[in-house]
Chain A
C-alpha cells in the first residue's frame, strides 16, 4: 500500500498553486496544515483525480493513478470540504446511489449503507432529506459515503470546517477508528483537531512542502522557541507590534501570551512545549494566514 507523489505541480494560468511536490504515503494518518491558498485542497483534488496535474505524477503501488482509472478509484474514499448532495434526496437513498457508483451490488449496498449509517450515528436520520440535516450530520453523510467501498486511501479535505467543537471532537474519534490499515490524508487549518490523531504532519506553504515528519519531530523544531508571558494590557499593545504572537488568553486584568522567538525575551518569560497549534501559527504569521487567496 504505497501512494507516491512525484514532482507534482499545478498551475492555474500563470499562478503556481503547487510547486514540485514530492511525498510518500504508507498506511497512517497524514495531516496537511496550511493557510488558505497554500495548496492543500488542490493537492487532495489531484490525489482524488478530480483535477489533473500540470506536471508530475501520482503513483499507486508504482502505477500512474490516471492510467489505473477505475482500479484506483475503487480503493479511494473522498470526503470533500463542501459535502455535495441532491437537495431532495434522502440520506439512505443517497448512500445507496453512491454505492451503485462505487460498483457495489444492490444487496451488499443495503447492508453496507445500514452499517455505516449506524457507525456515523445517522441511522435514525436515514429517511430525512440531506438538505434538512445540520452541518455536522452532512459531514457524517460525507464520511459514510466515503467508507462504503472500504477504501485503502481515505482523503478528508477540511472535514471539520464549520462544525461546532462538540461535533469536531466526535468527528476526530470517528476518524481515529477508521484510520487503521489505510492511508488517511487529512487537511485542516484547525491544528487542534490533529492532536493525538495524526501520524505525520505536512506543512504546506505557498504551494511547497515546508515541513514533513512525525508530530514529535516537527514539534521538536520549536524547542526553545515557544515562550509564555503574562503581561498587562499596556504591555500587550507593545508586544503585538514587536513580536510574533501566538495564542492570547485573558486572566482577570492580566493577559497570557505565547510568543515565538528564537531567543529568550527581555521580559520575564518561560519556555513551554510546542503544540501543533504553535506549529501552525509559527509557520503562518498573521499576514500569511489572511493575505493569500483561496483556491
Chain B
C-alpha cells in the first residue's frame, strides 16, 4: 500500500500545472495587494480591554467636535478611528440585546421554543464590549473566505481532475484495471493521496495567508493582538449568534475549510473515476466548484429565490467559504435536538467524504471498464 501511495504522490506532485496555478495566484495577489497601515494600534492599545461607559462618553464628545475628518492630524485620525470602533463595539452589543429581546417575545409566544431558547442562550454569551486592535486578524480571516478557499478549490481541481481519467486517456488503465491492486488498493492509495494533497493545499494557503497579511503591515507584531476580539467586529458577522473570537473563528474556519475541501477533493476523484476524458472531468469538476459561486455571488439568485437562499450554504464552495455559516442562527431541529449550521455542515462534509469514497471504490471494483 505504501508503495502505491508513494507512486501516486509522485504522480500528483509532478504535475507542473499545480505550481503554475499557485504561482499565478500568488502573482495576482501580490500585484493587487496594498500595504496595511497599522499605526493606529499605538493609540488603540490605550483602549485595549473592556469598553467602559467613560470611554464611550469620550468617544461621543470627540466625534461631536469633529466637523471635517480630513483636516485631522495623524494622531487625531487614529484616535477618531479608535473611538469609532469603541462605539461599534457598543452598538454590536445593543444589536445582540435587541435580537435577544425580539426572540424572547417570540419564545413566549410559541409553544415549541427550545430552538429559540438555544439561540437566546448563544446570543446571551456574546460580549462585544471588548476592544483591541483587530485589523490584521480581520484580514487573515477575510482572506480565507474570499480568495483562500478559491485558491484551494482551484489547486484541488487542477491536481485531481486527471487522477483517474488521465489513465483512460493515456491507456494506462489497461494496466491498472488488469493488475492485482488496480481496482482495489490503488483507489485506497489515491484517496489517501487526495487527503494528503488537501492537507498540503490547506496548510500552504493558510501559511501563505499568515505570511502575506503579516508582511504587508508596518510591524508584523501588530498582528499578534486582536485575536481575542469578538468576531462581530467584522461587519459580515454583526448579527452572528456565536460568542466566538477571531482566533476561535479562524481555527473553526480552518477546520471546516479543510473538511469541506476534502469532501470536494473526494468528489473530484469520483468524477475523474467515472469520466474517461480528463477534459470532461475538468469541466464537470469546475462546474461543481464554480456554479454555486456564480449563482450566489455574481447573479445574486439567493435574493430572488428563497430555496436558493436556503440551499447555497450546503454547496461545497460555500461550505469551504465558511463565513455564511456564522452570519445568522440556522439549525436543523430534530425534536428537541438542534444542530446548528456549522455543525450540520461538518456532518454533511463527513457524509459526502464517506459516500464518495465508497462510490469511487464501488465504481472501480464493479463497474469501471475501458
Do A149 and B180 touch across chains, with their CB atoms under 8 A apart?
Answer: yes
Do A69 and B170 touch across chains, with their CB atoms under 8 A apart?
Answer: no
Any B CB within 8 A of the CB of A17: no
Any A CB within 8 A of the CB of B186: yes
In the complex, what's the smallest C-beta–C-beta distance from A52 to chain B, in angstroms?
6
Interface residue from B14, B174, B181 paired with A80 (Cβ < 8 Å): B174
Do B369 and A101 touch across chains, with their CB atoms under 8 A apart?
Answer: no
What residue in chain B is nearest A52 (Cβ atoms)? Answer: B369
Do B171 and A84 touch across chains, with their CB atoms under 8 A apart?
Answer: yes
In the complex, what's the smallest C-beta–C-beta distance from A87 to chain B, in angstroms?
7
Given contacts A84-B171, A87-B170, contact A69 B184 (CB under 8 A): yes
Any A CB within 8 A of the CB of B365: yes
In Å, the complex CA distance between A145 and B365 comes to 22
Residues of B within 8 A of A88 (CB): 14
Residues of B within 8 A of A84 (CB): 167, 170-175
What residue in chain A is nearest B365 (Cβ atoms)? Answer: A69
Do B365 and A50 touch across chains, with their CB atoms under 8 A apart?
Answer: no
Contact with B along A62-96 (1 / 0, CB 8 A): 00000001100110101010111111100000000
Any A CB within 8 A of the CB of B7: yes
In Å, the complex CA distance between A105 and B3 comes to 8
In the complex, what's the smallest C-beta–C-beta distance from A198 to chain B, in angstroms?
23
Near B by CB (< 8 A), chain A positions 37-71 give 45, 48-52, 69-70
Any A CB within 8 A of the CB of B4: yes
Residues of B within 8 A of A225 (CB): none
Which of the listed residues B178, B184, B370 has the most CB atoms from chain A within 10 Å of its own CB?
Answer: B178
Which of the listed residues B3, B6, B170, B176 has the most CB atoms from chain A within 10 Å of its own CB?
Answer: B3
In Å, the complex CA distance between A48 and B177 comes to 8
Residues of A within 8 A of B176 (CB): 101
Q: List 28 A-B contacts (CB under 8 A).
A: A48-B177, A49-B177, A50-B177, A50-B369, A52-B369, A69-B183, A70-B181, A70-B183, A73-B179, A78-B174, A80-B171, A82-B171, A84-B167, A84-B170, A84-B175, A85-B170, A85-B172, A86-B11, A86-B172, A97-B7, A100-B3, A101-B176, A101-B179, A101-B180, A102-B180, A102-B181, A103-B185, A109-B3
Which B residues fall within an 8 A CB radius of A? 3-4, 6-7, 11, 14, 166-167, 170-186, 365, 369-370
Other than the known A73-B180, A103-B185, what 4 A-B pairs have Cβ atoms closer than 8 Å? A45-B370, A50-B369, A69-B183, A101-B175
